[in-house]
Structure 1
Amino acid sequence: MAIQNMLDSLNIQNYRNLRKLRINSLERVNLIIGKNNTGKSTILEAIAIYATKGDLALIFQLLGERGEDFKRREANQDYTESNILTLSSLFTDRQVGFERNNAISIGSVENTIFGEERSSDNSISLRFVQYFDETQRDNQGVIITRKRTVLQSGEEKQVANFKVGLEIRVDKNSNILSLDDSRPYRYSFRGLGNNESFQFIRTRNIDREINGKLWDNITLTEKEKYVIEALKIIEPQTERIAFIGENPKERMAVIKLANAPGVLPLRSMGDGINRVLTIILALVNSDNGFLLIDEFENGLHHTVQEQLWRIIFNLAEELKVQIFVTTHSEDCITGFENILNNPDNTMKGKLIRLENINDIIRQVEFSAEELKIAIDQNIETR
C-alpha cells in the first residue's frame, strides 16, 4: 500500500524562520543538512504538524520543548493573551496577523490547469482569526446549533464581543480553536492525521516509557526480527530484548546475549545501542507514514552509521515510510551516499542543504549522482 500522505515536494510559509521555503522534490529517504540557524529542526517540526494535520497536543509539546509555552503569569493577564503569546512563536517574526497571507502554510505544491503553482488540497494552514459565536435556539430557548463565524477585515468594529482564536484548516475543513482556556488543546481539535503512523525522534532519545509502548506494539510479530538485526550492528551477540517493570514510566529494556547466561540492562551497554533501538522501534511503528529523526548521529560511532542507513533504506521501502533526517556529521552524509549509490540499492533518496542568506533560508538539492560527485571531489556539502 502506498503512503497515504507521502510528500513529493514541500512548501512552507510563515513558519518560524522559514518565511518562504520550497523544496521542489522529495524522495522516500531525505537527509537535511546545513549550519546552525538554517531551519533543519524547523522543517521537521513543520512536517510533524503536517503529518498530524494540526494536532494541538503536538503543537503545544513543540512549543514547550522550546520554552515557548507562556502560561499566564500575571493575575490580571487572561488566558487568551498568554495563548496568543505562546502560539505567536510559531509564526515568522512572531507576527499576529488576521489576514490569509499571515497564515502558516505547510504542504506539497501542485500545478493548476492554468500553469500556476499552488498549495495542494491536503496542505495545512494555521492563522489567528477574530470571530464571534453564533447560536440558534428553539422555542424553549435551548441551543440547537452553535458555530463560530470569522470576521473579515474591519468587521470587528461592528461586533461588540468578538474573540481571537486560531484557525486550523486542512483543505476545506476548518476548525477554530478558542484561546480562552488554560490548556486550549484539552477538549478541542486533535488533528485529522493518523498519529499512529508517525514518529518524531528529537535530539535526545525517546524516553523509556515511549520505547516500551513501541515495543509492545510489535511484540510477537515479524517486526521483532528487524529490531534484533539492527541491534546486532552494535552487539552481534544479541538474541532477544524485553521491557521489564510494572510501572510504565519505570520499565527498563534488557538484552539477552548469546554468550551470557542472564540478561543485561540495555542502558548499561552505552548510548549507541540505545540510539539504534530508539530509531528502529520508531521506524517499525511508522508503517505507511512518516519518521522524523533530528541529529541522526547522536550517540552513534561513525563505523555503525552506514550499516544503520542500510537497514533504514530497506525498511523504509518495505514498510512504506517516508523519512526525514537532519545531521551535522560528515560521516553521516558519507554513509548515506554510500548506501544511496550502492548498486544493490533500488530506493531513491535525496540530500537537501539549507543556507541562511541575510535571514532568508534557501535550499540546494542534491540528487544521488550529484551527491556522489560532491563526496568524490571533497566538495563541502554541510
Structure 2
Amino acid sequence: MITSFRIENFRGIKKLELNNLGQINVIAGKNNAGKSSIIEAFSIGIAGVNSENDPLQEVLTKVLTWRGWFGKNSVTSLFYQDYLATKIKFVENNTPFSVEIRKQGNIVDILGGELKIDDDTIRRIGLGKFIILPGIVKAGPLKKTYSVLVNVGFPKEGDLLTVFSTSDDMYLVEMPVRFLTPFDIISPGFIERAHSWAFKEKGTERAFSIIKKGYPEFQNLSPLPENITPVMYVDIKWTKKAIPYYVMGDGFKALTAMALVVSSLKNGYLLIDSAEAFHHPKSLRVMSKTLVRGAKENNVQVFLTTHSLELIDMLIKYGLESKVEGRVIYMKRENGNVKASIETFEESQELRETLGLDLRG
C-alpha cells in the first residue's frame, strides 16, 4: 500500500505532499483544486515503475487525451513550469520510488540509437497527432523511458517533448493498476477489455451479481464477434434479443464497467476520476459497497475524486462498518498554490455529524 506521495511541477501543482494515506482515499474539493491532477500523477507514478503488462503507455495516453487532445499544448500542460522536470515520488510498503517527466528538445538526443522511427512511420502519424515510443527495459536497475512525439511531419528539433523514466537505482515491481475515467464508460473497446480482465481472474460471476444489485433485470454480458472485432452485448429480461452495450444507459454502463474492473483487480491500485459520474442513488450505493468490499477482500488501494457529498457519506459509512482504513483528502487552492488536508473516516464522520461540514471543500 502507498503510504505517502509527493508531486512537484505537475500541471497546476507546484509542490504537494500527502502522508498517512489509507486503503480508500476520497479526494474532494472545489473545481480547479487539483483533484484530477493528483489522480493523474498517481497513475503515472504507479505505472512508471510497473512490470505488470507495461501499463505506462496506456496511462500516458489516457492522461494526454482525457481532458481533450490539443496538440503540443496537451504535453506542455503536464508541467507547472515547462523548463523544469516533473517529479513524482511515493513510498509503497516502506520502499521509495520515483518517476520523472523531463521535457526534451531534440529527437536525436533522446533516441540515442536505441529507438528508431523511419520517415514512412512519421508520415503515417500525420500532423496534429501524437505517438508514444516505448524505450528499452533492461534487467537490474530500471532503464525505462517513454517518448511523446507531437505534430510530427519530420523528426526535427522540438518534436520530441517528454521522456518518462524512473531513477536508475529503482527496480521494476509488480503493481497492477487500473485508471478509470467517465470517458472509459463510452469509449469503444474498453468494456470488452474490462470483461476479459474479469474473465481471466474468474471474476465475471461476481461482477454480474454486482450489476444485478443495481439493475435486477440484467441477466448476462457477453462479447460477440461483429465485423471481426468483438462487441459487448447485454442480455436483459423481457427482451427477445441481446442489446448492444453501447446503446444502454450511461448509469448501467458506469456500474458495469466498475463491477468488471473491481472484480478483475487483486493486490493492486484502482484510480477513479469523477467516480459519481452517471450514477443514480441506488447505483451509487451499490458502487460504494463494491469499492469498499473489493478493497478489503482483494487487497486493493483505491484513490478517487468526487463532487458528490452523497458518495463521500456512503464511503465513510460502509468503510467504517467494514473496518477499512479510509481517508478524505480536502483539496483547495490558496494564492495559486494547491494545498491538502487529510482526515480519517472517523474524523470525517464526526465533522459531518457534529458540524454538518460540507466535506467537498
Cα distance, 1:173 vs structure 2 = 3.4
Partner of 2:65: 64
Distance 1:207 1:333, change over 3 A: same
Cα deviation, 1:126-149, whole Å, max 9, x if unaligned, reads 223689979xxxxxxxxxx9689x
Query: Structure 1: which 5+ residue stretches go unaligned?
Result: 1-5, 72-84, 97-101, 111-118, 135-144, 149-166
Cα deviation, 1:268-323, whole Å, max 9, x if unaligned, reads 55221211011122222332222111111111112332232112111122222221
- Corresponding letter in the other structure for 2:22: E
Contact 2:255/2:283, CA 8 A, preserved across alignment: no
Partner of 1:108: 90
Q: How does 1:40-55 map to 2 (within 5 A)?
A: 40-53=35-48, 55=56
Aligned residues: 318
- Corresponding letter in the other structure for 2:31: N
Query: Structure 2: which 5+ residue stretches go unaligned?
Result: 50-55, 116-134
Q: Please state if 1:352 is matched with 2:329.
A: yes
Contact 1:197/1:289, CA 8 A, preserved across alignment: yes
Distance 1:267 1:67 in 2: 21
Distance 1:108 1:273, change over 3 A: same
Cα distance, 1:194 vs structure 2 = 7.7
Cα distance, 1:256 vs structure 2 = 4.0
Distance 1:218 1:238, change over 3 A: same
Q: How does 1:272-287 map to 2 (within 5 A)?
A: 272-287=251-266
Match of 1:380 among 338, 343, 358: 358
Cα deviation, 1:187-246, whole Å, max 9, x if unaligned, reads x97998689932211133152412112212333864112211211122224332212232
Partner of 1:302: 281
SS at match of 1:26: coil
Cα distance, 1:260 vs structure 2 = 5.8
Contact 1:125/1:168, CA 8 A, preserved across alignment: no
Partner of 1:152: none
Match of 2:346 among 361, 366, 369: 369
Partner of 1:75: none
- Corresponding letter in the other structure for 2:98: S
Distance 1:366 1:271, change over 3 A: same
Partner of 1:253: 233
Q: Please state if 1:229 is matched with 2:209.
A: yes
Cα distance, 1:373 vs structure 2 = 0.8
Q: How does 1:1-382 map to 2 (within 5 A)?
A: 6-53=1-48, 55-56=56-57, 58-67=59-68, 69-70=70-71, 87-93=75-81, 95-96=82-83, 102-108=84-90, 121-128=96-103, 173-174=142-143, 182=152, 197-204=176-183, 205-219=185-199, 222-247=202-227, 251-257=231-237, 263-267=242-246, 269-342=248-321, 345-377=322-354, 378-382=356-360
Distance 2:349 2:149 in 1: 54
Cα deviation, 1:143-177, whole Å, max 9, x if unaligned, reads xx9689xxxxxxxxxxxxxxxxxx99999635566
Contact 2:46/2:175, CA 8 A, preserved across alignment: no
SS at match of 1:350: strand
Contact 1:127/1:168, CA 8 A, preserved across alignment: no
Query: What do you get for the CA RMSD once the two structures are aligned?
Result: 3.8
Contact 2:288/2:315, CA 8 A, preserved across alignment: yes
The share of aligned pairs that are identical, in percent, is 24
SS at match of 2:15: strand
Contact 2:33/2:333, CA 8 A, preserved across alignment: yes
Contact 2:91/2:97, CA 8 A, preserved across alignment: no
SS at match of 2:2: coil
Distance 1:180 1:265 in 2: 36
SS at match of 1:121: strand
Distance 2:243 2:105 in 1: 58
Distance 2:64 2:96 in 1: 27
- Corresponding letter in the other structure for 1:103: A
